[in-house]
């Protein structure tokens, strides 16, 4: 089971340092799960330094597919490797919604990251309007198709199912809704599947108990070290 904290655009380098120090303390003897944090680019180095030897992985929130080039604002897998980042999230719904990310560019980012020897958390998920129109499975199948084609099943690939209507809204998918979507995704690509969308310490246990839910991608509840540690502890009980 993997619990990954996506910090989004929160925490400066010095805040990352403080957070990681207290996470190491708060996480105490949580065992039996993998834990990762995903700071903004400028805070990666400090997080990596502070978490060295802790077993907690540090991922970027996005990465480009080219080795280098005229891609202002992007960073490459080589840059992440030199920092000793473990991998990257790709295709977060906020990238898709606000920054023009497409199903194809998500797959290209995922493939380059895998090819570079790094780990990938590739995100998929439907809008509320798509769920209401009974299009959830069609959307997931469409988003997954280029990932399946370009990457396929790989030991360093994880898919995060994040229904857009549940991200940062406090509206969590019910365990049954999460399980249904995960079972559908598993039928398309059999890799570890994280659920994301308002996961908190008090709902993590039930969500993580679903047979096809193999972990969580956590936004808001990953920003406080004690809260994130309690969430990891709740997940470890059912791991
Ligand atoms: C996320 O950022 O991936 C996320 C799931 O956010 P939240 O937990 O705040 O809904």
Whether the CB of 4 sits within 6 Å of ligand 1:
no
DSSP 196: E
- For residue range 112-129, list pLDDT tens digits in order: 999 999 999 999 999 999
CATH code: domain of residue 71:
3.20.20.70
Three-state secondary structure call for residue 122? strand
Helices assigned H by DSSP within the chain? 13-27, 44-51, 77-83, 93-98, 103-115, 128-132, 136-150, 175-188, 201-208, 225-238
Whether the CB of 219 sits within 6 Å of ligand 1:
yes
Answer yes or no: is pLDDT of 29 > 90: no
Question: Structural domain of residue 11, as residue ranges?
Answer: 2-238
How far is ligand 1, taken at its centre, from the CA of residue 213, in Å?
A: 16
* Whole-prediction pTM: 0.98
Angstrom distance (rounded) from CA 99 to CA 66: 18
For residue 23, the model assigns a pLDDT of: 97
Three-state secondary structure call for residue 19? helix
For residue 67, the model assigns a pLDDT of: 96
- Count of other CB atoms within 10 angstroms of residue 94: 19
Closest ligand 1 atom to Cα of 167: 10
Structure tokens at 84: 């000793």
* Residue 162 a catalytic site member: yes
- Count of other CB atoms within 10 angstroms of residue 19: 25
Question: Of the residues 92, 94, 179, 182, which is catalytic?
Answer: 92
Angstrom distance (rounded) from CA 49 to CA 60: 14
Angstrom distance (rounded) from CA 63 to CA 87: 9
* Least trusted range by pLDDT, from 134-138, 170-174, 187-191, 230-234: 170-174
User: Position of tokens 């994880």?
Assistant: 158
Number of domains present in the structure of the chain = 1
Whether the CB of 216 sits within 6 Å of ligand 1:
no
* Residue 154 a catalytic site member: no
Overall average pLDDT of the 176-194 stretch? 98
How far is ligand 1, taken at its centre, from the CA of residue 128, in Å?
A: 15
């Amino acid at each position: 089971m993997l619990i990954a904290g996506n910090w989004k655009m929160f925490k400066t380098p010095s805040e990352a340092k403080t957070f990681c120090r207290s996470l190491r303390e708060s996480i105490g003897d949580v065992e039996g799960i993998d834990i990762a944090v995903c700071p903004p680019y400028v805070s990666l180095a400090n997080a990596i330094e502070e978490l060295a030897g802790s077993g907690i992985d540090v991922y970027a929130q996005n990465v480009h597919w080219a080795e280098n080039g005229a891609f202002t604002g992007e960073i490459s897998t080589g840059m992440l490797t030199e920092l000793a980042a473990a991998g990257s999230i790709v295709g977060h719904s906020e990238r898709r919604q606000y920054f023009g990310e497409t199903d194809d560019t998500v797959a290209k980012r995922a493939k380059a990251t895998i090819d570079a020897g790094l780990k990938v958390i590739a995100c998929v998920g439907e809008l509320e309007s798509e769920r209401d129109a009974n299009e959830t499975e069609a959307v997931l199948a469409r988003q997954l198709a280029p990932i399946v084609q370009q990457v396929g099943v790989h030991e360093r690939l994880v898919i995060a199912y994040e229904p857009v209507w549940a991200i940062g809204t406090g509206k969590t998918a019910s365990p049954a809704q999460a399980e249904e979507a995960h079972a559908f995704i598993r039928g398309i690509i059999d890799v570890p599947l994280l659920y994301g969308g308002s996961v908190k310490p008090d709902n993590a246990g039930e969500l993580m108990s679903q047979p096809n839910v193999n972990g969580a991608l956590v936004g808001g509840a990953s920003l406080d070290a004690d809260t994130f540690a309690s969430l990891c502890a709740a997940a470890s009980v059912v791991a």
